[in-house]
Chain A
Amino acid sequence: MSSLSSSLAIASQALQAQELEIQVTNNNIANVNTAGYTRETVNLSEADPTQQGSASIGNGVYIQGVQSVRDDLLTLRIQQQTSQQSSANAQVNALTQIESLFPTTGTSLSSTLSTFFSNLSALSANPTNTADRQTAIQGAQAVVQQFNSISSGLTGPSSALDTTVTTDVAQINQLSTQAASLNLELVQQKAAGQDTGTIGDQLSEVESQLAGLTNISVTHTDQGDSIVTGSGTPLVLGNQSYALQTQTGADGHQHVIDSTGADITSSISGGDLGGTLQVRDTQIPAVLNSLDTLANQFATAFNAAQQQGYNQNGTAGTALFTVPATVAGSAAAISLATTDPTAIAASSDGTSGSNGNVANLTAVQNAALSSGSVTSQSANLVYQVGNLTANANAQYTAIGQSLTALTNQQGSISGVSIDQESANLIQFQQAYAAAAKVISTIQTLFETTINMIPNS
Chain B
Amino acid sequence: MRFNPNINAAVISDIQQSEQNVQTAFQQVSTGLRVNSASDDPAASAALIQVQAQAANVDQYSTNAESVLSQAQTADGTLTSVVQLLNQAITTGTEGANGTSSASDRVSLAADVQGILSSVVGLANTSFQGASLFSGTANGQAAFVADSTSPTGYTYTGNSGVNQVGVGESLTVQANIPGSTLFTNPNASVLGALSGLVTALKTGTSTDIGTATTAVTTALNYVSQQHTIYGNTINQLNAQETYLSQETVTLTTRESSLVGIDSATAAENLSQAETANSSVLAAAAKVIQNSLLNYLK
List chain A positions with a Cβ less than 8 A from chain B: 32, 95-96, 99-100, 102-105, 108, 110-111, 113-115, 117-118, 121-122, 124-129, 347, 349, 351-356, 358-359, 362, 365, 375-376, 378-380, 382-390, 393, 400, 404, 407-409, 411-413, 415-420, 422-423, 426
Contacts and interface: CB of A to CB of B under 8 A. Distances in A.
Q: Taking each of B56, B64, B68, which has the highest tally of chain A beta carbons within 10 Å of its own beta carbon?
A: B56
Given A102-B38, A114-B53, A124-B64, A418 B165 contact: no
Interface residues of B, number: 59
Interface stretch (B41-49, B89-97, B246-254): B41-49
Interface string B36-76: 11111111011111101100110111011001100100000
A102 to B, nearest CB: 6
B2 interface: yes
B161 A351 contact: yes
5 contacts: A365-B53, A383-B46, A411-B5, A411-B9, A422-B296
Contact of A118 (B10, B59, B161): B59
B68 A426 contact: no
Contacts of A393: 39
A422 B46 contact: no
Interface of B: 1-6, 9-10, 13, 33, 35-43, 45-50, 52-53, 56-57, 59-61, 63-64, 67-68, 71, 129-131, 135-140, 159, 161, 163-166, 172, 175, 259, 291-293, 296
A386 B136 contact: no
Given A353-B131, A412-B3, A125 B291 contact: no
B2 A386 contact: no
A382 B2 contact: no
A140 to B, nearest CB: 16
B42 to A, nearest CB: 3
Contacts of A118: 56-57, 59-60
A125 B67 contact: yes
B264 to A, nearest CB: 22
Contacts of B175: 125, 355
Given A356-B163, A365-B53, A376-B50, A99 B38 contact: yes
A416 B5 contact: yes
A126 B9 CA distance: 67
Given A383-B38, A408-B4, A121 B49 contact: no
Could you tell me the dominant secondary structure of chain A's interface residues?
A: helix
B56 A408 contact: no
Given A114-B57, A416-B5, A355 B164 contact: yes
Contact of A408 (B10, B131, B291): B10
Contact of B9 (A121, A352, A407): A407
Nearest to B43: A383
Given A383-B46, A423-B292, A390 B67 contact: no
Nearest to A354: B137
B4 A126 contact: no
Contacts of B33: 105
A386 B59 contact: no
Nearest to A95: B39
Contact of A418 (B5, B42, B67, B161): B5
A379 B47 contact: yes
Given A117-B57, A383-B43, A423-B292, A404 B10 contact: yes
A384 B138 CA distance: 48
A255 B137 CA distance: 62
Given A108-B49, A375-B49, A418-B5, 20 more contacts: A110-B53, A115-B56, A118-B57, A118-B59, A121-B64, A121-B166, A124-B64, A124-B163, A128-B130, A353-B138, A375-B50, A376-B50, A379-B46, A386-B37, A386-B38, A386-B42, A388-B39, A393-B39, A400-B13, A417-B6
B166 A359 contact: yes
Contacts of A390: 39-42
A337 B131 CA distance: 28
Contacts of B140: 128, 352-353
B128 to A, nearest CB: 9
A387 B94 CA distance: 81
A378 B46 CA distance: 8
Contact of B45 (A32, A95, A382): A382
Given A121-B166, A386-B37, A104 B49 contact: yes
A127 B176 CA distance: 13
Contacts of A129: 129-131
B4 A409 contact: yes
The 7 closest A-B pairs by CB, nearest first: A386-B38, A417-B5, A386-B42, A353-B139, A411-B4, A389-B39, A383-B46
A419 B291 contact: yes
Nearest to B290: A419
Given A356-B163, A386-B45, A128 B131 contact: yes
A124 B166 contact: yes
A353 B137 contact: yes
B66 to A, nearest CB: 9
Nearest to A376: B50
A111 to B, nearest CB: 7
B137 A404 contact: no
Contacts of A400: 13
A126 B292 contact: no
